[in-house]
Every structure is written in C-alpha cells, then in structure tokens.
Amino acid sequence: MRTSSAARSFVSQYAKTTALVTVAGVGLFGLKKWIAGGVCNSKARLDGKTVLITGANTGIGKETAVDMARRGARVILACRDMEKANKAAEEVKKRSGNDSVIVRKLDLASLQSIRQLAKDVLASEERLDVLINNAGIMSCPKWKTEDGFEMQFGVNHLGHFLLTNCLLDLLKKSSPSRIVNVSSLAHERGQIYFDDINQDKDYQPWRSYAQSKLANVLFTRELANRLQGTGVTAYSLHPGVIHTELGRHFWPTVPLWKRVFYMPLVFFVKNPTEGAQTTIYCAVEESLQNESGLYYRQQCPSPPTQHTDTDTKASGTHYK
C-alpha cells in the first residue's frame, strides 16, 4: 500500500515529466515497430516443393529456412561451415516440425565448390522451386577468393551468379519458380568499376560492398529479361539493418567515439526474424507471381535508383 501511495504521490508531483517520459517511451517503441516493418502474412503452402537457401546456418537465412520448412517445403541449407550448418538444420527441424531439412556444402568463394554443389543438387533433386541467394560478406579486409576475385564481389555477386546459372535448367523445369537475391540499400551508393572490378587500385571495404550489392540488383533485372516466358521470376531486396553476424568485420573497425554514438541506435536494429520478412515475402507471396525484376523494401517494390539505371545501361543490359 505504501509503495502504491508513494507512486501516486510521485506521479502527481511530477505529472508533466511522467507524461513526457511515457509519451517518449511509447513513441520510441512505436518507431522501433515501424522500422521493423510488417510480417509476411501470406498463407502459401510449399508442400512438395524444394527451397535452397545459401548461408542458412545463421541470421536471416536461418529464419527464412524455418519459415519455408513450416510451410512444408523440402529445405536445402547450402553453407560453408558444415558443423554450424548441421546444428542449424536440427534447430530448423525442431522449430518447424519438418524433418525434410538437409545440408549441402557450399563455399561461395570457390567456383569449384559452387559447381560441385550444383552438380549434387541436379543429381539428387527432382525439382527446385525457390532459390534464395542469401549468403554474404560485408566490409571485410582486402581478401581474395580462391579464384582471385575480390572477396565481397566474388562471394556476394559472382558466386551467386554462377550458382544461379548452374541451376537455371532445374528452376525452369520446376516452374513456376523463383529466384530471390538478398541485396542491400547500400546498392544506392554503389557503382560498377568496370576498369577495376577487384578494387586493386584503391580498395575501400564499403565501396566494394556497395558495388557487390548493386550487382545483385542488376543481375536480378537482367534475369527477369532473359527469363520472360519461362515461368521463372526474380526479385531483389533490402532486408533492413539487422543484428546478425554479417557485421563481424565492420564493428571492430569502428572508432570508440563512433561506437558510443551508434550504441543507442542498436535499439532500433531489426532482429533476424524481422529481417527475414521481405525475403519470405518475395519467396512466397502469391501476388508477385506475375512480377519479376523488381527491388523490394519492407515488402514493397521500390523504384530503381539513378545509379541502377546508369550502371545497367553502361553494362550493356536493358530492361523495361
């Protein structure tokens, strides 16, 4: 009783301050909810269908896998670290109640590994209904892939480019089918450096990342053009700013004073489940069946950026 009385007394004494704090709190949580975006409400089932997701052992890839499995799909987790992938597969099975979840080895920094995965999938799978190119690396040091490509461009774009093309015939055979490329808002600041594609002259981690994400969007648009009439559609998307392992190379490079500034903003960062919603939307939403080549944010199509238009024309590709 005394505690309740003291609380009422405090509220009465500091009514304006209490009201201000309450409104601010509600506003912050409302803003966080708005930034998180909506939930994919599609009830589409995927029974009898097969979904392959790269980088599905963690983050939004794993959450996407859980959703696909819950819808009844046979889910292939294509990952580099097999120990983590097997643990993720068990978690996906447990959370989804679907035991049709398998693991395949895939190192997107190795063209040989990509070709081997494609060979295994073509030999073992009768169909492939959804290919989700989710795996990626961000803001890493100047590393090279096994085949000598700059790591971010090699993994984020070239690896998925090769994988998609190796599996195109199976996707066509399984049509209507979909290709979902997880890009980023960073593509808006990107451009394709045709004269220095590996950034050997002046490597800057964020510039290279933006180039690779722009390449994802351009690839999606060209796929849409080339796959017209095949029943295979393609989508690219920005999942949002999400708390995942993707930032493991970025955060240690941030100066201490900037970390202090960034810390309050962590409150507004999406969790992996929230971050997976646009990927899931592009993979299953029925209304998108006749759409292809578009770029999505918060489950809504966004217009192409000026860079996207310019670089597509510069690369010799054209789209409507």
We report the CATH number of the domain holding residue 115 as: 3.40.50.720
> Sorting pLDDT into bands at 50, 70 and 90, what band is 204?
very high
* 140 assigned to some structural domain: yes
Q: Among 83-87, 110-114, 259-263, name the one with the lowest average pLDDT.
A: 259-263
Does the pTM surpass 0.85? The reply is no
> Sorting pLDDT into bands at 50, 70 and 90, what band is 118?
very high
* 197 assigned to some structural domain: yes
Q: Which residue has the tokens 């939004």?
A: 60
- So what's the pLDDT on residue 12? 63
Q: In angstroms, how far is CA 120 from the centroid of its own chain?
A: 24
- So what's the pLDDT on residue 287? 94
- So what's the pLDDT on residue 38? 73
pLDDT tens, residue by residue, 238-285: 986 555 455 455 545 555 545 555 555 554 466 889 999 999 999 999
123-157 residues labelled b (16+ CB within 10 A) or e (exposed): eebeebbbbbbbbbbbbbeeeebeeebbbbbbbbb
- So what's the pLDDT on residue 304? 53
* 161 assigned to some structural domain: yes
* 3 assigned to some structural domain: no
- So what's the pLDDT on residue 244? 47
Dist CA 124 CA 49 (whole Å): 14
Helices (H), the chain: 2-13, 15-36, 59-70, 82-96, 111-124, 151-153, 160-173, 205-226, 256-262, 272-275, 277-284, 306-314
Dist CA 181 CA 141 (whole Å): 24
* 308 assigned to some structural domain: no
> Sorting pLDDT into bands at 50, 70 and 90, what band is 28?
very low
Whether 281 is catalytic: no
Task: Answer with the residue of higher pLDDT: 66 or 11.
Answer: 66
- So what's the pLDDT on residue 24? 41
Domain total in the chain: 1
pLDDT tens, residue by residue, 52-63: 999 999 999 999
Task: Answer with the residue of higher pLDDT: 27 or 150.
Answer: 150
Residue 304: DSSP 8-state: P
Residue 303: DSSP 8-state: P
Amino acid, res. 278: T
What mean pLDDT is predicted for residues 203-231?
96
* 239 assigned to some structural domain: yes
- So what's the pLDDT on residue 39? 85
- So what's the pLDDT on residue 101? 98
The catalytic residue among 209, 281, 295, 296 is 209
Task: Answer with the residue of higher pLDDT: 308 or 204.
Answer: 204
Range of 250's domain? 37-301
Q: Among 24-33, 50-59, 151-160, name the one with the lowest average pLDDT.
A: 24-33
- So what's the pLDDT on residue 301? 77
- So what's the pLDDT on residue 139? 85
Question: Strand 300-302 to strand 295-297: parallel, antiparallel, or no bridges (unpaired)?
Answer: antiparallel
Angle at 68 between CA 65 and CA 72, to 5 degrees: 130
Q: Are 270 and 241 in contact (CB under 8 A)?
A: yes
- So what's the pLDDT on residue 75? 98
Q: Are 57 and 81 in contact (CB under 8 A)?
A: yes
* Main-chain phi, psi angles of 264, to 5 degrees: -60, -25
Dist CA 48 CA 5 (whole Å): 62
**Residue 171 in this model has a pLDDT that exceeds 90:** yes
Dist CA 51 CA 130 (whole Å): 5
Let me know how long the chain is. Answer: 320
- So what's the pLDDT on residue 20? 55
* 190 assigned to some structural domain: yes
> Sorting pLDDT into bands at 50, 70 and 90, what band is 136?
very high
* 22 assigned to some structural domain: no
Token pair of 79 as six digits: 């990952």
Dist CA 252 CA 255 (whole Å): 8
pLDDT tens, residue by residue, 280-318: 999 999 999 999 999 998 867 766 554 455 444 333 332
**Residue 229 in this model has a pLDDT that exceeds 90:** yes
